Structure 1
Amino acid sequence: MRTTIVRTEDIVVSCDQVNGWTVVEVDGEVDVRSHSRIREAVITLLGDGHRHFVLDLCFVPFLDSMGLGTVVAITRLIRQYEGSLRITCPSARMLKIFHLGGLGEAYEFYDSPQEATCQAPTGDGLVRWPGPRG
C-alpha cells in the first residue's frame, strides 16, 4: 500500500513495501527547491527501521547537481545503517547524469521498481560504493 510522505507544489514522495524493499517513488523535478524533501523522507524511513531502499526516479523529468548530491547524501545515510540502495531510472538522460557525475558504477540501476524488487535484499547492498563504511 503506497503511502505519501511528502506532497508539495513541486514534488510528491511516496513509499511502498515490496519484497523486503522500501520503494521510495519521487514524482517531480529534483532540484534546489525540492531535493531536501527526499532526504528528509529517507531520514524518517530510516528512523522507522527501514534499511533497504529502491529510489524510484521513473517520474523525475529533471535532476540537477543538488539532486545528485542528495542521492549521494542519502546513500551515505543508508550505508551507515548497513542498508542497500537500488535506483530505477529508465531514461538515458538520467543515467547520463549519474555517469557524468562519476557515479555510474557506484549504483545498481534497474528499469523499473518491479525489476529492482524481484529479489529480496541480501545485505550486501552498496558494495560498489567507494570508500569505507561510516
Structure 2
Amino acid sequence: MQFTVTDQGDGIAVVHIAGRLNMVTAPRLREVVAASVAAGQNRVAVDLSDVDFIDSSGLGALIGGLKTARQAGGDLRIAAPNEQVRLVLQLTNMERVLTAYPAASDAFHG
C-alpha cells in the first residue's frame, strides 16, 4: 500500500492510495488525513483510482477522515473509485455520505 499526498493549494490535499485499503492499511490512511488536516489542508480528496480492494476497515478510515476534516471546518471527498469500491459503497449505503467524483481534481473544483 502506497500513500502519496499532494498539496493543491487553497487548503486542499490530494491523498492518492495504491493497493488494498483494508484493516492493515486503514490506520495509515487515518494518520495521513489527520496530518494533512493538522497542516492546514482541511479539504482532502482521496484518490481511489489505484485501490483494487476496500473492506469495512477501509470504509471506517474514510469516515474517520471525513469526521476529522469536518471538525476542522473542511471536508473529505473520494475520487475515481473502481467497480469493487463502488459496489462496497452501494451495499453499505456509504455513497450517500462519501460522494464519488470522477477525478481528484474535480472533488473541490467541480
- What is the SS of the residue equivalent to 2:96? coil
Per the alignment, residue 23 of structure 1 pairs with 14
2:88 aligned with 1:97: yes
Unpaired stretches in structure 2, ≥5 consecutive residues: none
The aligned runs of 1:40-79 (5 Å cut-off) are 40-79=31-70
Choose 1 or 2 for highest CA Rg: 1
2:103 aligned with 1:112: yes
Tell me, in whole angstroms, the C-alpha distance in 2 between the residues paired with 1:47 and 1:18: 15
Paired-residue identity, %? 25
- 8 Å CA contact 1:19, 1:117 repeated in 2: no
Structure that is richer in strand per residue? 2
- 8 Å CA contact 1:75, 1:85 repeated in 2: yes
Unpaired stretches in structure 1, ≥5 consecutive residues: 1-10, 120-134
Greater relative contact order (Cα < 8 A, sep 6+): 2
CA drift of 1:26 comes to: 0.7
Q: Which aligned segments of 4 or more residues in structure 1 are displaced greater than 3 angstroms?
A: none
Q: Which of 35, 50, 59 in structure 1 is aligned with 2:26?
A: 35
